[in-house]
Amino acid sequence: MLPRDHEGRLLLKGVPRPQLLAWAAEQGLRPGQADALWAALYRKLRSDFAVMPELDRAVRDGLAATTRLDALRLESVKQAADGTSKLVFETDDGAAVESVLIPGPERATLCVSSQVGCAMNCQFCLTATMGLARNLGAAEIVDQLVIARRRFPDVWISNVVFMGMGEPLHNLDQVLPAIDVMVDDHGLGLSQRRVTVSTSGLVPQIRRLVAESPAQLAVSINATTDEVRDAIMPVNRKYPLAVLFAALRELPLARRARVTLEYVLLAGVNDSLADAERLAEWVRGLPCKLNLIPWNPHPGSEFRRPEPEQVAAFKAHLQGMRLNTSIRATRGDDTMAACGQLGRAPAESPRRPRRPHGLPVIAS
Ligand code: SAH
């Protein structure tokens, strides 16, 4: 059975192909017409039953009466000076969902959202200030990619990262089918190696993701002591660093597979060379790639981005210890489209205190 929208129409998007084809067969569609429906959704990226010449007239009319194509409406596209575009979608219930299209030299990456807001309460992240409004449905997750491809037909969007708004591992029941649709060969056709799910470190859900999905895993580490991580990422009080790293070491990763470890650099909080050394200790022997993200500011936050020299020294120190380390270039920050800048700005919403509680070190 397919999920329904608030008017009772069946949502065609976000349902993996075997289930959609089975449903279509139950509705009396011939196999060729069911395949054509899948292609219309995910290859032709159709937005209107009226223009689906690949479907018989009777099939089209039947579907138009009972089902629904797009789950999201593209509300605006804001292009940053560096070529990054922030796509703002509207849901049926009036919520804003944001994705960021990051073009590269040959291929582009789409950063998608999995929730409206987020419940993790990471102290350095703008989305956290919204709290969690709700999970996105699989259709709303898949539509971010479908509508981005439709809007940018000349851009080859080959990569998807679940690094927009939300904690994807809090919404695995919708994220897993959405990934299945994204990597389906007959449709959106992303390579499994080019879909990455990023988590703040929910240990049981990490195990489930790896067991049930072909996607790549990224984990936001962001601190090297429990004292600091407890203060900036409350999830650490439940799954402290030792528990998190023990779980990562035990993952049944495919040969040559590496976990990406993200590390947001916060000046005076987690960016010392002693931190780099502790980080190297934590990851010793774990097949991983380190991705350093100099913190992106947002109004109302008291954190600071380290100076470029400090970022370079931190990276060099890790590389000196033979760790695969890269710095994530800051993209889209003039349109508030960079990491940790998605969501309603505090000025538009009731402010909650942003002073990090009990932070051991905040250099001024
Ligand atoms: N909830 C998931 C994915 C969303 S955040 C997670 O926590 O991984 C994607 C990345 O952006 C995470 O690594 C997060 O730590 C980082 N991030 C959040 N706010 C940021 C900011 N203001 N500047 C830079 N990176 C930030």
Is 107:155 a contact under the CB 8 Å cutoff? no
Per-residue pLDDT tens for 135-166? 999 999 999 999 999 999 999 999 999 999 99
Q: pLDDT confidence of 338, banded at 50, 70, 90?
A: confident
In this structure, what token pair is assigned to residue 95? 């919520």
What residues line ligand 1, using a CB cutoff of 6 Å?
A: 120, 124-125, 163, 167, 198-200, 220, 222, 262, 264, 293, 295-296, 339-340
In this structure, what token pair is assigned to residue 93? 């219930």
In this structure, what token pair is assigned to residue 85? 């575009």
Q: How far is the CA of 125 from the centre of ligand 1 (A)?
A: 6
In this structure, what token pair is assigned to residue 134? 């709700």
How many CB atoms within 10 Å of residue 351? 10
Across 33-47, average pLDDT: 97
pTM for the full model? 0.94
Angle in degrees, CA 260, 266, 267, rounded to 5: 140
Return the pLDDT at 256.
Answer: 66
Return the pLDDT at 363.
Answer: 40
Is 212:176 a contact under the CB 8 Å cutoff? yes
Per-residue pLDDT tens for 202-226? 999 999 999 999 999 999 999 999 9
Active site residue 302: no
Return the pLDDT at 336.
Answer: 86
Q: How far is the CA of 146 from the centre of ligand 1 (A)?
A: 24
Tell which wins on pLDDT, 329 or 36. 36
Per-residue pLDDT tens for 288-313? 999 999 999 999 999 999 999 999 99
Active site residue 339: yes
Q: Is residue 360 predicted with pLDDT exceeding 70?
A: no
Per-residue pLDDT tens for 235-294? 999 999 999 999 999 998 776 689 999 999 999 999 999 999 999 999 999 999 999 999
Q: Is residue 25 predicted with pLDDT exceeding 60?
A: yes
Return the pLDDT at 340.
Answer: 84
Is 334:80 a contact under the CB 8 Å cutoff? yes
Pocket probe for ligand 1: among 98, 126, 163, the residue whose CB has the most ligand atoms within 8 Å is: 163
Q: pLDDT confidence of 330, banded at 50, 70, 90?
A: confident
Return the pLDDT at 252.
Answer: 86
The protein residue whose alpha carbon is closest to atom 12 in ligand 1 is: 220
Cα 87 to the center of its chain, rounded Å: 14
> pLDDT above 90 covers what percent of the chain?
87
Integer Cα distance of 269 and 124 in angstroms? 11
Exposed, middle or buried by CB within 10 Å (0-12, 13-18, 19+), for 285? exposed
Atom of ligand 1 nearest to the CA of 218: 8
Q: Which of 333, 336, 314, 310 is nearest to 323 (CA)?
A: 314
